[in-house]
Structure 1
Amino acid sequence: MVGIYSYGVHIPRYRIKVPEIARIWGANAEDITRGLGVFEKSVPDLDEDTTTIAVEAARAALRRRTVDPASIGAIYVGSESHPYAVKPTACTVGEAIGATPNMTAADYEFACKAGTAGIQTCMGLVKSGMIPFGIAVGADVAQGAPGDALEYTAAAGGAAFVIGEGETIADINRTCSYTTDTPDFWRREGQNYPRHGGRFTGDPGYFKHVQGAARLMLDTVGTSPKDYDYAVFHQPNAKFPQRAAKMLGFSNEQIRPGLVVPRLGNTYSGASMIGLAATLDVAKPGDRIFVTSFGSGAGSDAFDITVTDVIESEEFNRAAAPTVEQVLANPIYLDYALYAKHKGKIVMQK
């Protein structure tokens, strides 16, 4: 069975509280935090970007389990904030983790689901026998224009998953996707910040596609929400995944371990993958996990996953890398001025 061989995350230690952003723009902080369910978000350090986050997440995954660099046949990095318009992030990740040149690598972009698209690609390559292992990364340093609604949640972080066959810590039983041309969120070449359709992002965007992929998965495998121990949905805020779960019949208890957005913010391509990582941090053999990502533009990828005994074996050292809970701990809080400096919104003239 093809599945997850290892995983790792990286989240910057810096944070800014949502009320601090609201203070600058004269907004009602209580209304915003209540409406979004987000209280603070991660902020990249001055020398952090999508590449460094992807590298650290991949390194964390490889600390948990030894993988021969020569057996890594593919690396895909999904993001909408790659440092270069022309220069792949995936090549840098491969070099940093010691992978050999005998591999395929590419950067993916599909808004917030580019990382899960990378998982699907790695699954196909592994299952076909073309490669022994592939690494899929979802990482972003998300952007939101000053004063825009996105600024309250756009965060930084990422997760990496090593995909292999046999002796996996979690088998991916099935995956499927639901995709349409729905322009709910976009950024043209050369623009610094994305634009969004406001409420249009919700119903015809997020909920239509998350439900479409999720119901397709449930129908395909013949399961219902009660057959799963955990569920993870893309989390642009805390309200959307909770509403999606309720609409589909999942409980708050099922989504609670993976719902990290209130203390993290929306890490875009990393969001659902970090949620899955947080769930694997507490999962036990036999647990079944339902995952549905979402990317504006628009589409969703759904996964049916079963945790195996290997997750508690000597072959896999979960404690060798920090859990999501551990990387969220001990934050360093910034005021808006330092936040703006970290995000490149203000730059010192030389």
Structure 2
Amino acid sequence: MSNNTIYRVLDAAANRATEGMRVVEDYCRFVLDDARLMKHAKELRHDFAAAIATLSHDDRHALRETQQDVGVEISTPAESTRIDAWDVCVASSERVKQSLRSLEEFSKTVSPEIGTRFETLRYRWYTLEKSLTTTHTSRSRLSGVNLCVLIDARDSIEAFTKLVQKILDAGADMIQLRDKSSSDRELVERASLLCKLKDSLPSPPLIIINDRTDIAAATNADGVHLGQDDLKVKEARAILGPRKLIGVSTHNIEQARAAVLDGADYIGVGPTFPSKTKSFDEFPGTDLLAEVAAEISLPSFAIGGITLKNLPKVLTTGIQCVAVSTAVVSADDPGAAVRAFNEMLP
């Protein structure tokens, strides 16, 4: 195969990759309205342009034969139809991956070094693709989930059942079992009961277990919520599988960005205000909420000291989901508290 033919291959693959990258970037920008993912897509596109620039632009164009290309007139019915914007994004992402692989292999005949650069770009694209898919899926699955209520195991199974029933009847979107003092057996008992009670409802809330991936798996809960010192998302995913939810608490913008790339399905952001259930040395407050809302479209819950009184301050940041504990479980009427939060939330 002559270098002339190789350059035709490289030129066609470069065009497909560039076009696909731009489509995905537009999806991040205009459909997701996600500044962070758009930035990743844009950086990849620019780095790709720098890599392809090492192959002579003039030579590629001189050897281009669009009118004589036997593949121009060949197409499949699937290429002419797209279901929605996400379908457009997926098709374009696939085109980018295939093009990068073609560039990687054929460019080795011109320069092994450039082939390595295309390989690196391909792996970076895989990471972006994962974040895109997780964000799309999580936004769909958690649509309408705005209130997460954190509960402990209570002093007895009777007290636990009574509290849970009030919260369920009031229409909480998500319930997270968080208890640092109960035994494993007690946690399994409470988590199993929680899952059983919610399964009896026509529109059951999501059940999340705090910290304990093993108990989430053992009781078939909907997912687990991890702190910065708990298992990594990768490790929890290996235990729970692809369909369970994994949330991550984040306390600064860097942790929030990392959680997105790690594959978290949602993030907790805070602490926003002082809390009676957990102590913190620093409070990033509403500034962090606004920062996250401005650049991350993955479902994000404000955490830490959220009450009915300060909820309006939270909502003005752009964050529309909250996780609460004391404001509900310590209320005179937990059910009424849940209903009050639901009335104020979107």
Q: Same fold (TM over 0.5)?
A: no
| TM score, norm. by length of structure 2 | 0.26
Larger radius of gyration: 2
| Higher share in helix | 2
